[in-house]
Amino acid sequence: MAAVTIDSLLQNPTLLFRPKAKVLLKPPRSLDCSRNRKLPLSRGSCFCSFNPRRTIHVVRASSSETALIGNFDTSSSDDILYKDIFPVKRIEKVEGKFFIRLDRSKDQHDWQLTVGCSLPGKWILHWGVSYLGDSGSEWDQPPKGMRPPGSIPIKDYAIETPLKKLSEGDIFHEVKIDFNPSSEIAAIHFVLKDEETGAWYQHRGMDFKVPLVDYLEDDGNTVGAKRVFGVWSGALQQFSNVLLKSEASHADSQNNSIESKDSKNKNRCLEGFYEEQSIVKEVSVGNLVSVAVRKSPETGKVIVCLETDIPGDVVVHWGVCRDDAKIWEIPAAPYPPETTVFKNKALRTSLQPKATGNRSGALFTLDEEHFGFLFVLKLDDNTWLKFKGNDFYVPLLGTSSVLDQYGQSDSTTEEISSKSYTDGIINEIRNLVSGLSSEKSQKTKTKEVQESILQEIEQLAAEAYSIFRSSITTIPEEVVSETETTKPAVKISSGTGTGFEILCQGFNWESHKSGRWYMELKEKASEISSLGFTVIWLPPPTESVSPEGYMPKDLYNLNSRYGTFDELKELVKSLHDVGMKVLGDVVLNHRCAHFKNQNGVWNIFGGRLNWDDRAVVADDPHFQGRGNKSSGDNFHAAPNIDHSQEFVRKDLKEWLGWLREEIGYDGWRLDFVRGFWGGYVKDYLEASEPYFAVGEYWDSLSYTYGEMDHNQDSHRQRIVDWINATNGTAGAFDVTTKGILHSALERCEYWRLSDQKGKPPGVVGWWPSRAVTFIENHDTGSTQGHWRFPGGKEMQGYAYILTHPGTPAVFYDHIFSHHRSEIANLISVRNRNGIHCRSLVKIVKAERDVYAAIIDEKVAMKIGPGYYEPPSGSQRWSLALEGRDYKEGCRPSLIILFASAIVVSFFTPKYIGVIDLRARLDQVIIGAS
């Protein structure tokens, strides 16, 4: 029996109708279906600050500590200083069986295709058919009589049918499709979908195809009995009969001139088959970690009791800290049994099984001098568990709670945010004044631009002064005590958000193909938020001629290939519930018409905004508009809208306001803003009052004889001019930085990452607060690949943008890939050190094979194979993160993050480094944690 090989859509995204998703698959093998095997997670990342790959030293357990085990009763609260339960989630892999069977139905006249799966879940068969004479790979919906009960049509090309158990004791979920072999259907196509995880199971990167006629070619995704000499193989007698039929057919052909194609298409030689494949499903499992702290009345020491219901061998990687900087240290003995020292920076303790219940735990005895207890859980070499993206933290003084430690509002955080914001304003004013005063800058900037920059300086100064005044407590004379002071809030600007934003692009070029992308993204909302993202960019929501949404038609029709109007509202609400802001992708430059004019040209619009050809610019010959000339570059695939028309601006402002109110969008990603003047953008943003806005000003960089020029000032100047035209109300994607990173990393020319004045060479070097940095998006990467980032260099690119000023944007495909853990840890370093859109960069090295910089005197980073060692002096360093970034055919490079503790002196030419820097421990910079 031939085995079916199922491939992941994530690995080979060629499915025409379904979204990309993460699936786990196993090669063909025999399988005992009587039970499900639970497999350890094979991929993961060390989330703590240390790399678990060194020789360790065994530490003997203290007898006094051993005596404590079993004597810690946490049921009494008299002497409990702290007690809490941490919920954690982990991933288990469950293996099952997936089968396909074709045989005759009970009446022996029709045939029946059965698809089943032994794993629990909400399994859906996403399927369609192709007919005789069809060309290409598009599906059609099957006849209504062929659709099993409970089937739901998906657009006009597929059917979704749920798999169900035939009885309570049955281990298989399955669905049966009956069909008449004499119909015009040539093949049945399908994929299997698990709605619980969003995974799609394919056949060799394509949909499964079951041919119902004997002449279809095997294009790699065909399943069923194999053919020999153009017919289906089977038993020897069947094969002999086929040969006899072939000879008879040959004799008949001598009497007839030629068999017609229609007659050939009718010939079928169906043969039943049964094929199966083992598959693996990722299952999210919830567990608890309970921690209690008490003070021993006999010894005066602090005792920490840690227990968990996580099964298997669990190792606690732990340490203590002396202040709220949470810098790991090794405490003095005694230690629990089975404890080892790791790199002289932390301890590892294997949890011991409890006598009752499926639990394990350990007791830790600590001196009173310690401020907090830090730990992460190690399940295996690649699987580590944290709490909400951070190390578990337990206060030892009983003065804090878990909510205080992880993101809830408190006065310290608010004061830090305000100081970081005002410091950033001052730095930006300095940058603007420096740029304005330079001789070269004055030559290249018009008088209007200079005046606009001066206005920006005045606005920033006013903001800084306002925050300064609001931070001064005024005590009226009549108030003697208990005076309340108002803490300043962080200023929000549509061009920057809070200044600490990290943007996630929440889709790729293929996301529309499922028809249910909104619901699939909703399931990932908590996961995306937990990685540290604060803003998410959703795809274009409107009805569109192109399925991706970038050829909008009726702007008020929000039923798109990504989902329905109600599903979009539900998704936005879910994202808000996990604390994320949501950007809508709005296409204002062009719009597809509903009707032709008297000359047969498509330039008359329908729907709620039923504009005529006055709304179309006059200088695009393709669409014969009667408006004014365009204020930018024309997009020739659709009518370009004339934003100089007052009725157009009025309607668009009302539409944006409707999206804000009805859907709940917090801001905008503005498509193809090169097509119209930035002043119109300013008008739209002031009317819709977004939390954050970014424009796509895409322009070609400068090249000489095919090689990118080092000086890209003219390119970034055009982007800065557009931002300036919006009066700074919007940021812009830093295409300059992306292009320069391409050449620097691909050609090992890291000197390109510094301009002639020693600043970053992109928009981030001139106007960092308005630069949205990125390395990939749906156009450049995904399946389009118009300008794909150098392969194997992605993490170097993210090490750059996630440690530098500007607002970094991360592409969806990279988040849900093997880069995920490295990206999450880089985001964590950025957040812990308060790096923001106005942070200062000091480039310390930009040579052929190495680039290094220090940001805000807190974080130092290095990329490239060359040598760099950070200055030691009075600074202190320690390893915080380690991950690998490989390039095919070259030696591996390491990405390394460091935090303050000891001077690091083991850099070698193979390291790429990001270093977390602080001054002396008694002079910790505000905002670093």
Question: Does residue 9 have a pLDDT over 80?
Answer: no
Enter the CATH code of domain 93-217+270-278.
Answer: 2.60.40
Question: Does residue 404 have a pLDDT over 50?
Answer: no
Mean of all residue pLDDT scores within the chain: 76
Q: State how far the alpha carbon of 388 is from the alpha carbons of 391, 392, 405, 526, 669, in Å.
A: 8, 9, 10, 10, 28
The single residue of 642, 696, 813, 856 carrying the catalytic annotation is: 696
What residue segments make up the domains of the chain, in order of their start? 93-217+270-278, 296-395, 503-586+644-839
The single residue of 276, 423, 554, 671 carrying the catalytic annotation is: 671
Question: Does residue 41 have a pLDDT over 90?
Answer: no
What confidence category does residue 23 fall into, taking pLDDT thresholds of 50, 70 and 90?
A: very low
C-alpha–C-alpha distance, residues 254 and 245, integer Å: 15
* pLDDT value, residue 295: 87
Closest CA to 882 of 923, 853, 846, 910: 910
* pLDDT value, residue 452: 64
The β-bridge relationship of strands 535-537 and 503-505 is parallel
C-alpha–C-alpha distance, residues 48 and 346, integer Å: 10
Q: Which DSSP helix (H) or strand (E) runs through 315?
A: strand 315-321
Residue 912: is it exposed, middle or buried by C-beta count within 10 angstroms (0-12/13-18/19+)?
A: buried
* pLDDT value, residue 895: 37
Question: Does residue 38 have a pLDDT over 60?
Answer: no
For residue 63, the one-letter residue type is S
* Lookup result for tokens 């006899």: 244
* pLDDT value, residue 227: 43
* pLDDT value, residue 207: 83
Q: Report the range out of 117-126, 378-387, 574-583 with the highest average pLDDT.
A: 574-583
> pLDDT digits over 52-87, tens only?
333 334 444 443 333 333 444 544 455 788 888 888
Question: Does residue 482 have a pLDDT over 50?
Answer: no
Question: Does residue 237 have a pLDDT over 50?
Answer: no
Q: Report the range out of 94-108, 299-313, 710-724 with the highest average pLDDT.
A: 710-724
User: What's the average model confidence in pLDDT over 159-168?
Assistant: 86
Question: Does residue 362 have a pLDDT over 60?
Answer: yes
Question: Does residue 334 have a pLDDT over 70?
Answer: yes
Question: Does residue 265 have a pLDDT over 70?
Answer: no
Q: Is 178 a catalytic residue?
A: no
> pLDDT digits over 755-770, tens only?
999 999 999 999 999 9
pLDDT top residue among 387 and 843: 843
Closest CA to 726 of 768, 765, 778, 674: 674
What confidence category does residue 724 fall into, taking pLDDT thresholds of 50, 70 and 90?
A: very high
> pLDDT digits over 194-230, tens only?
877 767 787 766 788 898 887 676 666 788 755 433 3
* pLDDT value, residue 369: 84
C-alpha–C-alpha distance, residues 750 and 745, integer Å: 7
Task: Please tell me the number of Cα atoms within 13 Å of 712 on its side-chain side.
Answer: 34
User: What's the average model confidence in pLDDT over 179-204?
Assistant: 82
Least confident of 11-20, 205-214, 782-791, 818-827: 11-20
* pLDDT value, residue 467: 53
pLDDT top residue among 412 and 821: 821
* pLDDT value, residue 411: 38
What confidence category does residue 872 fall into, taking pLDDT thresholds of 50, 70 and 90?
A: low
686: region left, alpha or beta (phi > 0 left; psi from -120 to 50 alpha): alpha
Enter the CATH code of domain 296-395.
Answer: 2.60.40
- CATH 3.20.20.80, applies to 503-586+644-839: yes
Q: Is 194 a catalytic residue?
A: no
For residue 761, the one-letter residue type is P
What confidence category does residue 327 fall into, taking pLDDT thresholds of 50, 70 and 90?
A: confident
Rounded to the nearest 10 degrees, what angle do helices 735-746 and 713-725 cross at?
Answer: 160
User: What's the average model confidence in pLDDT over 487-515?
Assistant: 86
C-alpha–C-alpha distance, residues 425 and 431, integer Å: 10
* pLDDT value, residue 923: 26
User: What's the average model confidence in pLDDT over 12-19?
Assistant: 34
What confidence category does residue 436 fall into, taking pLDDT thresholds of 50, 70 and 90?
A: low
Same CATH fold assignment for domains 93-217+270-278 and 296-395? yes
* pLDDT value, residue 429: 67
What confidence category does residue 731 fall into, taking pLDDT thresholds of 50, 70 and 90?
A: very high
pLDDT top residue among 929 and 637: 637
Work out the percent of the chain whose per-residue pLDDT is above 90: 42
C-alpha–C-alpha distance, residues 912 and 841, integer Å: 18
* pLDDT value, residue 50: 38
What confidence category does residue 669 fall into, taking pLDDT thresholds of 50, 70 and 90?
A: very high
